[in-house]
Structure 1
């Protein structure tokens, strides 16, 4: 999800991308590596949900893809005791017709928040920060910073104006999507406005909150956020294909991403727009294999103490039926996790404890369909088939 009541970049949550030509990173692709080593965590196992369910999922995904005009889709569904389903359908490049690949890298937008908050909570477990510390103890110049706690930032209850809603920011970004922004620069757009409510008063999705938490991680750890994430989050979680890029780098293979969040409103290729403005709120890159693993790790708290994970999963109402929000994580009708949306890409990575089920959706557009997130349309259709008592619906609150 994006976590804001409106979807567009200006009044939404975030929009990221890249500038440099795609580069190959690491050894073999996940699928190649799994094949070579006999790794049974290959994200592309044979269907085991049965031909009837698989056929229903095939039809539902294709119907949504065509109706919402989604170029390409990668879906992974794993349900212990029932089976698994993995598909890549549609195209990765509309100009060449190249097919979508299951091992593709994607920009995951606001799913980045689950990684940044995990980093913060590890510092809580280390005894180096407390969730009820004011942000002013770590970052100067935050409006009402002495009253806003780290907890409220992670819960999206700070009252800070979201910088991505500032008209000047939207114009500056879309006038030059290859531009690089610093955390301080994007925060300054939000600081132009008065806080929208008193700290803790209500829920409002704001990328400003997570950029500030990224700065806290850097100050306390004396490390760049990307380095801390790599050393303390990604490596312990065995995520070898997930990264926070410095600029526009984008590992191969990756699909082209398409957006209508442009100054003209016309659809453009956003593959190499620069995601630096999203940083700790939404700049990360990952793939199906890693996100399958991360969904379970973040929902079950494998990297955190039980006490800290319990605080993370203490969710509060968002004002939207069926969805509550905790510390950088949501609960949508029982599905725990996050979604992401940036110009060109959308994603959903969620875990359903009731059935130990994992769902990952990756698509190469963020253009809405009749006012709805295309990734949410897919998640709703899929869960309506396999978990009718727990139908995902997160478009109204996050991303």
Structure 2
């Protein structure tokens, strides 16, 4: 469930990729207070020791500057691995409290607030979107539920040339929600409401505007009050739309070529450039400070490994909703491809990959995955400070899949 990729890697899991020179650390300390220094080998769970060289090899093959992988398991013990550096220029080891852009991992936060408002009787999942906005194509037939589960048929604006061009030419541009929706509404709808699945950021942008309408406050404030503060996510934030900076200690984000190139090729580098990237003679561009307002409540969030682990566990275990609503949320998750029951599944602002509920995120410079298995009380977090490898595969998706394959 990426921003530009629009859930283009919807397999039974997600994975992450890492780059060039790697400094791998492996610890089994608690994720709430991890250290970057390697623990004594005897303290590291056997499965973690077994995975580390394979993950390091994957990371190295993907030319990613840096990455982190976290597995929290009461059954197996915790595995904390970091690879590479926060920056290309300096060897600054990755940390589990480093901030990074989480992309579409923001969507479950937005979706959770919508479900809280349903609990409070302020709206219904069956409400037509036209009740809140009168210019939405098929708005009388698109429900709040369809916006949450990506079955509205509304076009996605993320891969349009206007978005890519603005990131390349005016990276500090501030997009308004209305501008984003105008791009979507100008495109043909993909199908009649409820008749298919299309991962579209327009759905979540509409939900953000509805949240503001019903709460009477900026959605950034609503997310802080309803999600971040109750869970103690002190290093997680929804930045103001005008902000293009990550405010605290963070990893820089990188991309080979331009965003326009990425959209055109799916991130696949020509063979000559891929060879140069592997040799280190082709360096990626620093795209950290592209303003993420084009993603807004669909993908502009900032967080850390530790905070995402805390959030996804609360998301899946039901700490943010009442029992009835949580049960309905998890039951809503169905395959995005009816012909392939092993494909990823999506529901009310939440995805499922195999046994793990959660989400994934990508935007220029970063790729990430968060998942929690409530049956095994097992959490997987992975992220990298490059969106895709030279072959176009999402970096965090690749790493996460390798972890999931080992654990399941």
Q: Do these two structures clear the TM 0.5 threshold for a shared fold by scoring above it?
A: yes
The match for 1:120 is 114
Q: Report the secondary structure of 2:292's partner residue.
A: coil
Aligned residue runs from structure 1 range 147-158, under 5 A: 147-158=141-152
Q: Please state how far the C-alpha of 1:83 moved relative to its aligned partner.
A: 0.4
Please tell me whether the aligned partners of residues 55 and 399 of structure 2 are also in contact (alpha carbons under 8 angstroms). yes
CA distance in 1, matches of 2:103, 2:204: 12
The match for 1:254 is 250
CA distance in 1, matches of 2:232, 2:42: 26
The match for 1:209 is 203
Q: Indicate how the Cα distance of structure 1 residues 48 and 285 shifts in structure 2: closer, same or farther if over 3 A, else same.
A: farther
Deviation per CA, 1:217-236: give whole Å up to 9, x if none.
00000010000011112111
Q: Report the secondary structure of 1:340's partner residue.
A: strand
Which stretch shows the higher mean deviation, 197-206 or 52-61? 52-61
Q: Report the secondary structure of 1:54's partner residue.
A: helix
* 1:322 and 2:334 correspond: no
Q: Please state how far the C-alpha of 1:381 moved relative to its aligned partner.
A: 1.0
Aligned residue runs from structure 1 range 12-91, under 5 A: 41-44=32-35, 46=39, 50=44, 52-91=46-85
Q: Please state how far the C-alpha of 1:237 moved relative to its aligned partner.
A: 1.7
Q: Please state how far the C-alpha of 1:60 moved relative to its aligned partner.
A: 1.6
Please tell me whether the aligned partners of residues 164 and 259 of structure 2 are also in contact (alpha carbons under 8 angstroms). no
CA distance in 1, matches of 2:391, 2:292: 26
Which stretch shows the higher mean deviation, 38-47 or 218-227? 38-47
* 1:94 and 2:88 correspond: yes
2:404 to 364, 380, 383: 383
The match for 2:276 is none
The match for 1:195 is 189
Deviation per CA, 1:62-92: give whole Å up to 9, x if none.
0110111111011111111220011222011
Q: Please state how far the C-alpha of 1:151 moved relative to its aligned partner.
A: 0.3
The match for 2:393 is 372
Q: What is the Cα-based RMSD across aligned positions, in Å?
A: 2.1
Deviation per CA, 1:141-164: give whole Å up to 9, x if none.
111111100100000000001111
Q: How many residues align?
A: 357
Q: Return 5+ residue gaps in structure 1 as ranges.
A: 8-37, 389-399
Q: Report the secondary structure of 2:367's partner residue.
A: strand
Deviation per CA, 1:331-350: give whole Å up to 9, x if none.
11111000100100011110
TM-score (norm 2): 0.83
CA distance in 2, matches of 1:210, 1:340: 14
The match for 2:101 is 107
TM-score (norm 1): 0.85
The match for 1:292 is 309
Q: Indicate how the Cα distance of structure 1 residues 40 and 164 shifts in structure 2: closer, same or farther if over 3 A, else same.
A: closer
Q: Return 5+ residue gaps in structure 2 as ranges.
A: 10-28, 263-282
CA distance in 2, matches of 1:345, 1:144: 34
